[in-house]
Every structure is written in structure tokens, then in C-alpha cells.
Amino acid sequence: MGSRSGHFLVAGVGVAMFLTASIPGRAFAQDGETIFNGTCKACHTIGGGRLVGPDLAGVSTRQSEAWLIAFIQHSQTVIASGDSDAVALAAEYPGISMPDWPLSDDQVRGVLAYIQQQESAGPAPVAAGAASLQPGDPVLGRNLFQGTTRFDNGGPACNSCHDVTHEDVIGGGILAKDLTTVFTRLGGPGVRAIVGSPPFPVMQRAFQSRPLTDQEVGALVAFLEQADAEQSLHQPLDYGLGLLVTGLGSAVILLGLYSLIWRRRRRGPVNRAVFDRQVRST
């Protein structure tokens, strides 16, 4: 009886292994979905067309697994190596660089398995909330961007890392990209996707426990769209000539004041006048 049970157990394990192997990447795909939603979904769709980066449908047929693993883990290194496909991809998306992702080979394989799984299920939706986001208030977005209005959940102000050229916004940080023309570079859907679900590691850590509300996302998107549109109409002012004229004028005024003060200066030392009076008194 024990021998027969042992045979059944071995047979059951064999069937399970066969079923698992017959569905390529099933286990990988389960983990890949979590990784895709957390790191890829804000910039890429699966069959839904271009977002910030290319549509990933069919990516496994366009590139080898080894190439995809290397590019996802160290995209800038692959581009810098002169790889023709990587260089062409960078040229197609100028000014947009995918960050290096600290993923293991198996984690990347999981993402690829998930992409293959979703290809047969139809286009994946754009990042959560981005497609249905209602138009926001650009004034509120401007205040949120520069920190004069705090985020509801206490997240850091955008201008602590980013700058934007706008007549009503003070200078911002230089730790991250200037966002003045972000709508031109990424397009509306791309901006909404990134603001609503940040894919970059630094942003993820900054807002992980302090997510933005839908109203805040809409307001920031509206402000960035306005700043981009106004950039072509209001070029930054050149203060160089004005500062030069102001400086020269101030120097002339100061020299004039100094000359007046100098004319009224006391001529000769005080002790000399005292000494002369003493001589005359004798």
C-alpha cells in the first residue's frame, strides 16, 4: 500500500511539473505583474500604443531575452556601448532616459512573461487614473509645485528637485529635469501617467507613503501644460543689460555722494588746531 501511494505521489508530482512547464512563464508572470505595475506601467503600455516610452507588445519577438535583460537593468550602459538598436531607440525618444532598474535576471524574465501573457488578453489600460483624470486647476498646481500649498498627504514640493520657467514661480531645484517643456517632450498622457504613478526610484521613495490625490495630480498636470504652452509666448527675460546699467548708475550716484562728503571733510588734524591755539595764547 505504501509502495502504491509512493507511486501515486511521484506520478502526481510529475503531472504537476508537466502542467507548470506547459504554461511558459506562469510563475514568472505572477511576479512580473507586480514589477510591471510598479516600474513599467507609468511609461509603457502592452498593446495600447506609445506612452512615454514604446509599446511593449511583441517586444520579445523584436529583441533577444539577453538583450532585453541587459537593457532593462542598465539601459544607459548599453546605449553608451554603441549598440545599434539601443542607440536607435534613444534617438527615437530624445531627452527621455529609462533609469537603470535593480532587477535580477529572473525578475526581468517575469516581466517579459507577464507581457507575453497580456498580449493575448488585449491592450493593458493606461496608468491608473490617468485616462479618466478630470481637468485640474493650474493655479492650485502652481502653488503645489512651489510649495506655497502643501500636499494633503505631506509629500515634498516639486520644486525641491525640479525647476520650471514661469513668471509666477520662484527658482526650483536642479536635482532633476527642468519641467518647463515636459508636455512637448512626453505628451499629455505621458505627463499624467508619471505624475499619477511615478516610475522613478527617487520619486517612488518620496511619495511611497504620501501619495498624491486625484485633485493634486490634475492640478499639477494642468499647471505643467500651461507652463509649456506659455513658454513659446513668454521667453525668459534677459536681465544682463539691465543689471549692467543699474550697477553703473549706482556707482555714479555713490561716487557723487562720496565727493560731497569729501568736500565737507575736516582739513588738518584736530591736535594741530589745539596746538596752534596754545601757541597763540602764549
**For residue range 236-255, what is the model confidence (pLDDT) as tens digits?**
555 567 778 888 888 888 88
DSSP string of 158-179, one letter each residue: GGGT-----TTS----SSS---
| Residue of 129, 107, 108, 131 lying closest to 48 (CA atoms) | 131
For 95, other C-beta atoms within 10 Å of its C-beta total 11
Question: Residue 268: what pLDDT?
Answer: 64
Alpha helices, DSSP H, located in the chain: 2-22, 26-35, 59-62, 65-73, 75-80, 84-92, 105-119, 138-146, 182-196, 201-207, 214-231, 240-263, 270-281
What is the mean pLDDT of the segment spanning 223-247?
73
- CA atoms of 256 and 131, how far apart (whole Å): 66
pTM of the model: 0.57
Q: Which amino acid is at 161?
A: C
Residue 196 grid coordinates: 499619477
For the cut 50, the answer to whether the pLDDT of residue 78 exceeds it is yes
Task: Write down the mean pLDDT value for the chain.
Answer: 78
- Look at phi and psi of residue 268 and say left if phi exceeds 0, alpha if psi is from -120 to 50, else beta: left
How far is the C-alpha of 216 from the C-alpha of 76, rounded, in Å?
32
CA 174 to CA 160: how far, in whole Å? Answer: 8
Please report the pLDDT score of residue 6 as a whole number. Answer: 43
Q: What is the pLDDT of residue 67?
A: 93
User: Residue 9: is its pLDDT beyond 70?
Assistant: no
Contacts of 280 (CB under 8 A, 6+ apart): none
- Categorize the per-residue pLDDT at 51 as very low, low, confident or very high, splitting at 50, 70 and 90: confident
Check whether 66 has a pLDDT greater than 90. Answer: yes
pLDDT at 160 exceeding the cut of 60: yes
Report helix, strand or coil for 64: coil
What pLDDT shows up at residue 23? 42
Rounded mean pLDDT of 145-161?
90
Cα–Cα distance, 264 to 177 (Å, whole number): 57
